Structure formats: C-alpha cells, structure tokens
Structure 1
C-alpha cells in the first residue's frame, strides 16, 4: 500500500511531514489539540470544532472504527485531522465502517504519521494558530503553502454559530411523561444534549441561533437553554440581546460552553481568546460553593474574564463566578446568586464521557420546578 505525502503547515513556518489520511487535497483552519484518549467520533462531529484542524494527542486513533449511533451532529465538522498512528482495522462490534472511510466519504483532509507529541508541545508553547493540511495536487513549495495558511481569516472575530445552527425548529419529545418544556437555542448543539433533557421528562424545542425572544415566548417554555458552539463569542450580539430578554423575564436559563460565554456577556463580562484553549475529556473543574471537583469534557478557545468566587452586580441581580478550572484558574461557570440562571464552560452531556457533570441537568429541572 503506497502512502501519498502530506504536510501540516503552521502559520509560524513549522512544518510536519506525514502521509495523506482521509481525502487528499487542501484544508485550512486553526490548529488546536485535543487531549481525549477516546471519543474521536464525538470530537469530529462536534459543531464546536467548525473551522479547526484537530491534532489528536492520543497516539492511536481509529481503533474502534465508526458507528451510526455516536455522531454528535449530522456530519463531521472539523476542518482537518492530524494523527500519529491510525488503526488499519476497526475492532468494535458496533462499528460499521472505518474512520478512514468516513473521512473520505465526508471529504475531510487529514494527515497521519506525524510526531503529534511535538505538534501538541509546539501549539501549547506558541498557542493555537492558523494552519493547513496539504496532500496530493495541493502540495507545493513551503513558501507557497505558508502564504495560503496566512491568507485565511483568524478565529478571533469569527462569527460561526449561524453556520452550524439548525435551519428550522425541531422537537425532541420526553421519555415518559412530560414535566417541562425547554427551548434550546442551537449555537452548535450536540445530539446528546436534547437526549439528556428528554431522559428527565423535558420536551425540547431546538431553535435556530437567530430566533427572536417573541418566537421563543410563543413556545411557552419553562426554561431556556444556550448550547455550545464555535467561533468568537464577541461576535454574538444577537444571542447576548436574546439572553438579556430571557433574564429580564425571569425565565430559568442554563448555558454550556459557548452558552456560558453568552450568559457571561449578558451579565456584563468580557471575553478573550485563550492561548491554546481547553479541548479534551479530562479537565478538572472546581465548583466554588461546594469545593466539588468534576472531571469534565471541554472544547473552547475563548473564555470569560473573572476570578474564582468573584461576585458582581448586574441589571438582573447579583452574580458570581461559580466554577473555575483547577489547572489554570480559567472561569468555568457563572450564575445569578438568586439561582434563576447558571452556566458552565464544559460539556455535561458527556459525549464522550465523563459523567461527573450530568447532575447539572437535574439542577436545571429543579430550577424550573421551583418557578
């Protein structure tokens, strides 16, 4: 079997040579790394990875193949995939195709056989940066490839939520008796999130990111949910205004990841681009009120400004920084002190794992019960 040459080119001129993986050609995006040891199918289909070239820190990728049940959206969203050692066969009873076959079928350009440890260390030291993967006819002299890489738009200032959001409303019915109705604003929602709500007796109306407050109120929700999603939260003025409207009406509100940044902005906090972000399923978060530590799934390159335990005034009452990352002190959650709105920077829907934060869905249910 012959391997076609491929190159991962970073904006600072660093080049990693390997072989083509998936479709041959060219792809551009922001190079980031993911520390998850498992769950590559969920990672690749997470809309929060839109326009990002993901470098897998785990050396062996593809061992369990690909199945029809674990997709977190309708398609693969990553711009490109860089791995060390792709498995040549799928070894799992649920698999019905291979990772390589899916990358080809969905026209995802990847690279294999590179020193991913060196790539991860480089991105951790220098920060996430513009990048490109090139193979086949797209290969050229390094100067030419570097010009293509640097010619792409930056992730800072990128407005991407609308590109991944649903085109229209759809509804997930509850398992068993309906207890509540939730409107979920799709900024890049993952499939497992409405499923987690449904398991707790919630009917979920998933609506596009540009839905108005009046349209949400027409659905007569008991609570509103802000999903995860890609891009720069500083671009989401529409979602921030919508959130302010929800807060002003006192509706229970729960946000995750991108939704945490939207709620934070609505409460008057600023956001900033992190050096290399948090991407993985092994990130420790401390809840300030209880000292409880959860090991969490995360995928974000932006964060809210603030300090652990900080309290601040908002037009909707007193608010506080409720969670921080144990590794670096990054804000991982905010909430109104009266409890009507809260959000976390991580993914409690646990796809793929861990399950430490699933209790937050119950907390949201309790909030709606008390309203």
Structure 2
C-alpha cells in the first residue's frame, strides 16, 4: 500500500503536530475544535454548524463503516479540515457506498492522521479553541514559521457571520408524514436534515426559509409555530436574525429554537452571549431540566453560549423568562423559556440522528404549545 504524503497541523500558539495526509491534499484553515462522539462521524462532517472549523475526533478509529447516502445531514461536507488518529483502511458495512477517505478527497476536504489526538485534545482543553491550519503534500514543505504566519493571518470565529454561507438559497417544504396538523416556518441558519424530519413525523408541514428571512416573510406563511435552527458563527453578529425573531415574538406566535437558535432567542430577550473556552461538541453532555430535575444525555455542537441569570425568573421585553436547562458539567445555560408567552429554546440537538435520543420529546412539546395557542 502506498504511503500517504506527510502533513502538518499548526496551531496559532505555535504547537505543531506531524502526521500523514488524509483526504484531499493541500492546505486549509479554521478554528481547531474537538468532537467526543464515538459514532456519527458522517453526521458531524455534514453538519453546517461546523463551517470554518477544523474538527479533531477523539475516538481512535474513524471511517470503519464508510459513508452512505442516508446519513448526511446536508448536501455536502462542511468542516474546513479533519483530524483523526487512525483512519480505517477498508470500509465494512452493508450500508456503505464508499470510503470516508474517498469522500473527503472528492469534496476537497484536507485532513491529517496524527498519533497524538489525545495530546491535541488535552492542549485545546487547557488553552482553548484556537485558529489552526493543516498542510499536506507540497504545502507541508514550507518552514513551520511560515506556516504559523499563515495561520495567524486567517480569520477567527469571534464576530463571524456565517449563516448566509450555509443556508438554503430558496425556500422549500418538508411535508407532514401522515395527517398534517401544523404549519411550521423554520429559519435555516444551518439546519440539519433530520430536524424538519422530526417535526414532519409529528404532523408538521415545515416551510424552510433562508437565513435572510424577515419577520414579514415568516409571518406571511401564517404559521402555527416558528423554529430557528442550529448554525455556525458568532451570535453577536446575527443582528438581522435577532430582529426577525423579535418580530415573531411581538406577534405572539409559538417559538422553538435549538443551538444557534437558542443564542438568537437569548439576544432577542436582551441577553448577551459569550465564547466558551473550548465548546461542547459530542454526544455525551448531561443536561438537567430545572423544572423536573430530569437529566438528558444530549448531543452538542456549539462554541458560544447565552449569558443569563440562573437564580430565578428575570424580566424581558416579552415578560418574565427563566433558564430552563443547565449543563451539569460546567453550569452553562442550556435552555431558555418565556413564562408569559409560548416560546422556548435549548442549546443542544434533540434531533440527534446519531444519538442519543433522550431529548426528542422536545419536538412533541413544541407541538403542544402550538396546539395550546389555537
């Protein structure tokens, strides 16, 4: 077997990891983050929320089951780069239509295989997420100092407005499965395909709108409920989406948001957001519902969070609100709820195609508040 060419991963603080090229050869830049999921690498790669990020997988073997046509969460791979420890040499699954390495090459995704993914993860946990670059083939032959200069010249994530680059170009409709019960307007900030499917399973006809949709665009559908999706970038840069959501809240239409949608909801309520040290990315985050005490193990992909008072209800332009869910690892706000209007959000992913599925009941709750608003 032909040996892959050498590759180098360079972090903005000067830390360097040497390895072998995986996927496409060349160079790429992005925010260096890690994902702790042991399954679902295809869902991770195709999640639009990973735009402009280089993702390191902490699970040691990646690519064992290849890729298929059923599991992608969008039409293409969105990660800026990919870091693994041991890429599979063959794909072994009856569902596989190809290998992961071939898919990365076909879509021009530059990756690297390094023996030190554990060291990389520990470094990021200590120093925080940071800019990075992967260089392979001819690009890896430059001096490390020159490569570091190129990393330092690349854009960071703070202040990045990325939803426009991953949203749908045109509105489309996901029909209800079975009897139609509700019309939902879903604003695509980087939506995953499983999300409208979960709503369709519950009788929702989902009208997916571009991230540029205004409140007038949304309300023109006369929806029973409005949904804001996950997505990439800094919520502090999403002023247009905040304005659109405020128009929805002014109209009193039931609202549900997840991940980036939770952050937009927080801003619409007058709260701030901040960047987490290294973020939550994986399938194993324990989140507690403060009203019931129930703990869900949940899927996450976010580097920002809402700054909200956790010690009781607080006032907003739309009445009283409260923090509904908290992360039991670090106390991070994981959900918000209005007490006087039908609106709530969570910071995690209840659709979770790759699992876990503890939180899928949140879609039923959305349907309940739409039913109750009639």
* TM-score, scaled relative to structure 1: 0.99
Q: Counterparts of 1:63-74 in structure 2 under 5 Å?
A: 63-74=64-75
Q: Residue 70 of structure 1: CA displacement?
A: 0.3
Matched with 1:214 is: 216
Distance 2:309 2:16 in 1: 37
Matched with 1:91 is: 92
Q: Secondary structure at the match of 1:38?
A: coil
Per-residue CA deviation, residues 50-88 of structure 1 (Å, 9 max, x unaligned), is 000001010100001000000000100000000001110
Distance 1:193 1:185 in 2: 12
- With 264-273 and 302-311 compared, the bigger mean Cα shift is at 302-311
Structure 2 unaligned runs (5+)? none
Per-residue CA deviation, residues 196-219 of structure 1 (Å, 9 max, x unaligned), is 000000000000011111111111
Q: Counterparts of 1:1-371 in structure 2 under 5 Å?
A: 1-139=2-140, 140-338=142-340, 340-371=342-373
Q: Residue 153 of structure 1: CA displacement?
A: 1.1
Per-residue CA deviation, residues 115-143 of structure 1 (Å, 9 max, x unaligned), is 10000000000000000000011121100
Distance 1:126 1:275 in 2: 8
Q: Secondary structure at the match of 1:228?
A: coil
CA contact (8 A) 1:308 1:323 kept: no
Q: Secondary structure at the match of 2:105?
A: helix
Per-residue CA deviation, residues 137-188 of structure 1 (Å, 9 max, x unaligned), is 1121100000010001110000001111100100000001100000000000
Q: Secondary structure at the match of 1:144?
A: helix
Structure 1 unaligned runs (5+)? none
Q: Residue 340 of structure 1: CA displacement?
A: 0.5
Distance 1:113 1:16 in 2: 7
Q: Secondary structure at the match of 2:219?
A: helix
Q: 1:116 to 1:125 in 2, by over 3 A?
A: same
CA contact (8 A) 2:255 2:344 kept: yes
CA contact (8 A) 1:4 1:20 kept: yes
Q: Residue 338 of structure 1: CA displacement?
A: 2.9
Distance 1:271 1:190 in 2: 23
Distance 2:163 2:324 in 1: 25
Q: Secondary structure at the match of 1:8?
A: strand
Q: Secondary structure at the match of 2:65?
A: coil
CA contact (8 A) 2:219 2:248 kept: no
Distance 2:363 2:341 in 1: 14
Q: Residue 307 of structure 1: CA displacement?
A: 4.2
Distance 2:90 2:72 in 1: 20
Per-residue CA deviation, residues 303-322 of structure 1 (Å, 9 max, x unaligned), is 00124353210111100011
Q: Secondary structure at the match of 2:56?
A: strand
Distance 2:97 2:149 in 1: 40
CA contact (8 A) 2:35 2:282 kept: yes
